Chains A and B, each alone.
Chain A
Amino acid sequence: MVVEEAGGGEEALQMIKKTPPDLIFTDIRMPGMNGLQLTRKIKGDKPNTPIAILTAYDLLEYREAALQHGADRYFVKTSLQWDEVAAFAKSIPIEGEF
């Protein structure tokens, strides 16, 4: 398993172009393009790419917006349940073990 990290939305897009990932975790607040915009962009190009939002905002409006932008899951950092994250990761049909 290879994990790659991007400093912002634009950088993430560059990396995805080079190596299409099996799963994407993104924050909302990032310098430049935010997580929601990035999600919409990736889903516009490759709708099957699984994307999970990982944010500190535990707010209804953010949740709704994330779903509207095409995110598959919404995790709140402060009340993060690791088993839920793991279950989500396992549900994705990829080769190898998480």
Chain B
Amino acid sequence: MLAVLVPVLVALIVCVALAFTYRSMAVAHENGDIVRQIRGSIGELNHLLFSYVSYREDRAREQFLAECDSLTKLIGGIHLQDQEQQRLLEDVRLSTQAMKDPFLRLVSMTDLPGPAGGDELSRELEERLVGQLLTRSHRADTSASLLRSLVDDEIYSTHKRATVLIFLVLALATGLLTFVLVRTRWHITTSLAKLQRGTKVVRSGNLDYSITVEREDEIGELSHAFNQMTASLKEVTVSKSDLEREMAERKRAEEALRKARDELEMRVQERTAALAKANEALRDLSARLLSAQEAERKRIASDLHDTIGSCLTGVKFKVESALQQIRKAPEAAPESLNGILPAIHEAVEECRRIQMDLRPSMIDDLGLLPTLSWFCRSFNQTYPGIRIEQETDIAEGDIPEPLKIVLYRVTQEAMNNIAKHSKADLVRFSLRKLDDRLELGLQDNGRGFSPEEIHSRRAAVKGLGLTSMKERAELSGGSLDIESAQGKGTNIRAFWTLNEKGRGTAV
């Protein structure tokens, strides 16, 4: 700012000085003109003086006097500052005024009546007056000439000063202009370089970059516009990145959805396969149930034929024989009839046995615990080689009614398996209540079997066997595990939860 102000102030001072110089120059020119007129007027006075002296004409006299007045007026109209010039002007004025008096005396002498040129004294006086006039005229002319020279000098010096000042003004103006131009160019160049740098930074991806605006001019506006453009670009870029992120998320979601669908399809396939397997198992079970039912009917039919049937046939023969004996000897009737009784008794026993085998009524009449006790006893009677260790740690009232027949059938099935296949000589039977669980255990010391055999077809062929025990337990809400290994006996353990009412469904 100072760098601009100082040259401007100097230029202003120089301009003022130049104005003053021009003014002095104009005054000098004016004075020069007047001084020229004064010299001309003095020359005219000399000419008129010569003319009058030579021809004594009234016109020349009148003109001389008018010229004198005119000269006096001219001298009065001039204003000079310089003392030397004032002195010279004063000299001119005095000289011209001093000319008027002798000229009037000369005129008065001419106008006096007398012989023309006859008087020596008058002639001499005239000559002296003329000489006086000429001297004064010459002096005025010399002074005017000097004055002219001085005024010319002044004009020349003011011209010179004006020229110097003009050059100075021009130099200052040029310097200032150059300074302003260079400064402006520097500002524009640096601002443009800054913008260019900014463009590079923005192009490299940094959208947080902004240009510091120092000036409120066109470059400043451009910088503002650049910053606004960067901000807009950032907004656009941000929304673009948002869009890209959303698209990526959508893609991920689609991928997850596709995966879930695949998984679901796989599960559906698995379930379908499991269902098909279960269906197969159900069909197999139904078939086995039907064949078991048929086998049971066959067994009962054969049992009825072999036992009650043969007993009753025996009774029939014995009754016929007794009738014959009674006909022959009526007194032997009681004896004959008494002989029939053991056969009838046997038939009744067989009938009861079959009935107990089909459905032990004891379970309904007395409960599970006496029924199991009876079962173990009759098992022992049938298979005396197998010892049974019985452990019961539960009250009859703790056993849910629907579970009783399940427990009985599982025990019956397991014991029959032991008797038929295990070759065991010891069975540990246990029925216990453990907190809220009911546990049935049947462990033998027989030959056992491999785990593969448990679910094999051979086991299935053996009747409902192991699978039916498991199914019975599971259908009544319990679970059944069979542990066995070749030569290490078999351990069957079944569990039911007791705390829920209604658990355990009779089969």
Contacts and interface: CB of A to CB of B under 8 A. Distances in A.
B345 A28 contact: no
B270 interface: no
B377 interface: yes
B366 A56 contact: no
A43 interface: no
B337 to A, nearest CB: 15
Contacts, number: 32
Given A28-B365, A29-B361, A36-B365, A61 B349 contact: no
Interface in B284-323: none
A78 B343 CA distance: 11
Contacts of A64: 370
Given A29-B361, A34-B365, A61 B370 contact: yes
A56 B348 contact: yes
B372 to A, nearest CB: 10
A57 B362 CA distance: 10
Contacts of B361: 29
B362 to A, nearest CB: 6
| Chain A interface bracket (under 10, 10 to 19, 20 to 34, 35 or more) | 10 to 19
Contact of A62 (B345, B349, B362): B362
A65 interface: yes
B365 A62 contact: yes
B345 A65 contact: no
A65 B366 CA distance: 7
B450 interface: no
Contacts of B362: 57, 59, 61-62
A79 interface: yes
B365 A29 contact: yes
A56 B365 CA distance: 13
A86 interface: no
A32 B135 CA distance: 194
Contacts of B377: 60
B370 A56 contact: no
Nearest to B372: A61
A29 B370 CA distance: 16
Nearest to B378: A59
Interface string A22-59: 00000011000010100000000000000000001101
A60 B352 CA distance: 15
Contacts of B374: 59-61
Contacts of A79: 345
A34 B364 CA distance: 10
Interface of A: 28-29, 34, 36, 56-57, 59-62, 64-65, 78-79
Interface of B: 345, 348-349, 352, 361-362, 364-366, 370-371, 373-374, 377
18 contacts: A34-B364, A36-B366, A56-B348, A56-B352, A57-B352, A60-B374, A61-B362, A61-B366, A61-B370, A61-B373, A61-B374, A62-B362, A64-B370, A65-B365, A65-B366, A78-B348, A78-B349, A79-B345
Given A59-B374, A78-B349, 15 more contacts: A28-B365, A29-B361, A34-B364, A34-B365, A36-B365, A56-B348, A57-B352, A57-B362, A60-B374, A61-B362, A61-B371, A61-B373, A62-B365, A65-B366, A79-B345
